[in-house]
Structure 1
Amino acid sequence: MTKPIFRVGYIERPMHQSFIDVMEADPNIDLLRIDLADGDDRVRAALASCHGYYARAARDELPLAWHVTPALLATMPSLLVVASYGAGYDTIDVPACTEAGVIVVNQAGGNAEGVAEHAVGMMLGLLKRMPEAGVAMRAGTVVRREAFLGRELSGRTVGLIGLGHVGTRVAEILRVAFGCRIVVHDPYLDAATCQQRGAEKVAFNELLSISDIVSAHCPLTAETRGLFDAGAFAAMRPGAIFVSTARGSIHDEVALTAALDSGHLSAAGLDVWEREPPPKDHPLLAHPAVLVSPHTAGVTHESRERVARMAAEAFVLAAAGKPPVRMMNPEVTAAFVARRATIGA
C-alpha cells in the first residue's frame, strides 16, 4: 500500500540542488516551491498544506512573516517538521515548535569545515595586519614595511566560545598546524569532554584575560545575545583580536568599534552582523583593522551541497514516519510519531 504523501514546502530557492535531487527521488514526498511574488495569502495557504517546512536560517534573508513563530505555527496545523537551511536557526522559535509538537532539525556539522577554515584564515590575516596594509597600499601611503609589523599564529593562546562541530575543528587546526594552546568556554560541556576535543575548559572571564585571540563559535540564544558587550571587550587582554563567524548580535557592534578605536583591541574579523548585509556606511566596514565578509564562512560548494543533502535526508526520514536525526527538541518525538500516523487517515 502506498504511503500518504508528505508535503514539504520551501520559499523560492533551496540551499543547493542536492536538496531537490534527494527529495524528488522519494515518491512519498511532494516538494512544493513557494513564490513570495504570489502574495501573502497564497504563501500562507501553501504553507498551511505542508507537513514539512524547509526554512532559511539567516534572519535577514527571510521576511519576518515566514519566520517560524507562534503566529505562523497557528496557521500551519499539519506541520510536523521544520528543518533550517544550515546549522543556525535564528528564524525558528524552538520552544514554540516544541509546544506545538513540531520537530526542529538543524544541519549542525555540515558546514563545519568551511566555517573553521574561514575563522582560522581571518586569524592569520589579522595577525599579519593584512586589512591595514591593504588600505595603505590602495591609498598610496606605504613608506616603511615595518609600519605593518605583524605577529605569528604559532604558539598563541586562542580562546573559543563554544566547542561544537566548528569549534572542535578550529581547535584541531590551531593545535595541530600551529601548536596553539586552546582554551574554551562552553557551559554545556564538562572539562573531560573539552579535553577530549583538544581544549582546556576555563571560565569566561579567565578566557578573555589570557587569550591572544578570542573566536566565537556558539549559536545565538537568549544566553549568548550581547555576550560580548563593552565589559567583555574591556576584559580582553590589550592587543587581543576578536573573531566571529557565529551569529550577529552575539557581539555589540558599537562596543567593538569603541574597543578598536581606543586601541585596546588590535583587530577584529567579522563574518556576521546585526543586520545582514550591514549598511555600507557601517563604521566597522571602514575600520582599517577589521577584516570583513558577508556571512560567507560556510558558503562553499562543499558545505552547501552537504547541508542541503542533510536537510533533505531529515525530511525523507520524517516522511517514512521515523524521527529525523539532529533534532533540537527530541522531547516531541512521541507526538511526532502519533501525528505522522494520522496523515491520510
Structure 2
Amino acid sequence: MTKVVFLDRATIGPSVAIRRPDFPHDWTEYDRTQADQVAERLADADIAITNKAPIRAETLEALPKLKMISVAATGYDVIDVPACTKRGIIVSNVRGYAVNTVPEHTFALIFALQRNIVGYRQDVIDGEWQKAGQFCFFNHSIRDLYGTRLGIVGSGVIGQAVGQIGRALGMDVIFAAHKGQPTFGSLYTSWNTVLETSDIITLHTPLKPDTRNLISTAEFAQMKRRPIIINTSRGGLVDEAALVGALDRGEVRGAGFDVLTREPPVADNPLLTILNRPNVIVTPHVAWASEEAMQVVWEQTVWHVEQFHAGTPKNVLN
C-alpha cells in the first residue's frame, strides 16, 4: 500500500479541512518536522507532503522508496529539485492559489504605511489625541495613493494582480525588467528607472541565486523618491541590514515585510531592532494565509498526490 507522510501539518491553519487522497493508502502526519528528522520520518514513504520541512540531496540518499514530493506551497526552495530529478522523484508545487490573498495583504501594508496608520494608532494609545486640544493632530504625514508610481518586481499572476489593484486606485503601475537586462519588452520598464522613479516598490518574484539580495545598499542609493518597500514574496530578496541602513539614512520612507531571510527570525536579525518604528511593519509570513487560500492550497496539494498515483502528475517542477 502507498505510504504518504505529511511532514508539517501545523503550517496549514487549523480551519482547513485536511482531505486525504482518494486511493487506498497508509497516512502518517506530523505537526512539525525538523531538518534532522526528515530522513527518519520518510524512511518508508512513497510520497512526501511538505510545506517548509526541507528535503535536501543528502536526505534523499537515505530515501530509496520515495517517488514523489507534493509541496504545499508555491515556493519550493526547501526542495533540492535537481537531486530529485537525478533520482527520478517527481516534485509538484501549488500554483495560482494566492492571487487574492497576497495582493490584498500587500495593499494592507501599503495603505498602513502610506497613511501612517501604525503611528497614529500608537498616538491614540499613548494619549496624544486626548492632549491635542482639537479634533485632530498631525504627528505623521499622510499621503494619497492616487497618482503615485507603483514599481512591481515580478510579473507573474500575483504581480499582475497587484498591478490591477494599483490601477484601480489610480496609481501609475510599472513592472521592472530583470536587473542588468539591457533590452526588454513593452510590458517592462528598465530596472534602474523603476528604482529611481517609484514611490512604492513591491516584490513578487521567486528567491533564486540570481535574486538573493536583489535590493541592497547600491539599489537603495538609487531610490530618488524615497519609496516604501514591500516584500510579501520571499525573505532574502532584500538585504535586511542594508534596509535598516536605508531607513536610517532616509533613502526609503518605510518598509512592510511579511517574509524574512530566516523564519522565524533569529535574535540578530537587524529588522527586529527597529520594530518599534511607526514606518516599519513586519508580519509573520501570513500574506498567503487567508482561510480561503489555505483551503485551495490543500486541495491542490492532495490533488497532486492523486494525479501522481493515477500516473498523470501535474504542476511538475522537474
TM bracket (short chain): 0.7 to 0.9
Residues 116 and 278, structure 2, Cα contact 8 Å, conserved in 1: no
Superposed CA offset, 1:199-254 (max 9, x none): x3122222111111000111111111111111111112232110000111111111
* Identity across the alignment (%): 30
Larger CA deviation: 104-113 vs 9-18: 9-18
Q: 2:159 aligns with which of 157, 164, 167?
A: 167
The number of residues matched between the two structures is 306
Partner Cα separation in structure 2 for residue 252 and residue 170 of structure 1 = 23
Over 3 Å counting, the alpha-carbon distance change for 1:210 and 1:35 in structure 2 is closer
Residue aligning to 1:52: 47
What SS does the aligned partner of 1:71 have? helix
Whichever structure has more helix as a proportion of its residues is 1
Cα gap change, 1:39/1:306 in structure 2, threshold over 3 Å: closer, same or farther? closer
Deviation readout 1:32-77 (Å, 9 max, x if unpaired): 2247799967x634412212111123xxxx4xxxx11111111111
Does structure 1 residue 261 correspond to structure 2 residue 248?
yes
1:207 has 2:194 as partner: yes
CA distance in 2, matches of 1:38, 1:152: 45
TM-score (norm 2): 0.87
Quick check: 1:28–1:319 contact (8 Å CA) kept in 2? no
- Tell whether 2:316 aligns with 1:310: no
Alignment of 1:84-163 (within 5 A): 84-141=71-128, 143=132, 145-163=137-155
Q: CA RMSD in A?
A: 2.7
Query: How far is 1:100 from its partner?
Result: 2.1
Residues 1:75 and 1:35: Cα distance change in structure 2 (over 3 Å):
farther
1:2-33 Cα shifts (integer Å, max 9, x gaps):
xxx3322112526267673142xx12433222
Q: What CA distance in whole angstroms lies between the structure 1 residues aligned with 2:16 and 2:310?
A: 19
Q: Distance in 1 between matches of 2:33 and 2:211?
A: 35
CA distance in 1, matches of 2:24, 2:310: 8
The one-letter code sitting in structure 2 at the alignment partner of 1:185 is A
What is the 5 A alignment of 1:292-311?
A: 292-311=282-301
Assess, with a 3 A threshold, how the Cα gap between structure 1 residues 37 and 217 changes in structure 2: closer, same or farther.
closer
Tell me if structure 2 keeps the 8 A contact 1:9–1:53: yes
User: Is the Cα–Cα contact under 8 Å of residues 23 and 306 in structure 2 kept in the other structure?
Assistant: no
CA contact (8 A) 2:68 2:91 kept: yes
Q: Choose which of 217, 223, 231 in structure 1 pairs with 2:204.
A: 217
Name the aligned partner's letter for residue 236 of structure 2.
Answer: S
The TM-score, its normalising length taken from structure 1, stands at 0.80
Kept after mapping to 1: 8 A contact 2:153/2:175: yes
Partner of 2:316: 327
1:75 paired residue number? 62
> Which structure 2 segments of 5+ residues have no match?
none
Change (3 A) 1:112 1:39: closer
1:87-142 Cα distance to aligned partner (Å, 9 max, x none): 12231122222222222211121122111100011111111011222333333446
Q: Using a 3 Å threshold, how does the CA distance of structure 1 residues 317 and 212 change in structure 2: closer, same or farther?
A: same
- Contiguous gaps of at least 5 residues in structure 1: 330-345
SS of 2:253's equivalent in the other structure is strand
Contact 1:84-1:311 at 8 Å conserved across structures: yes
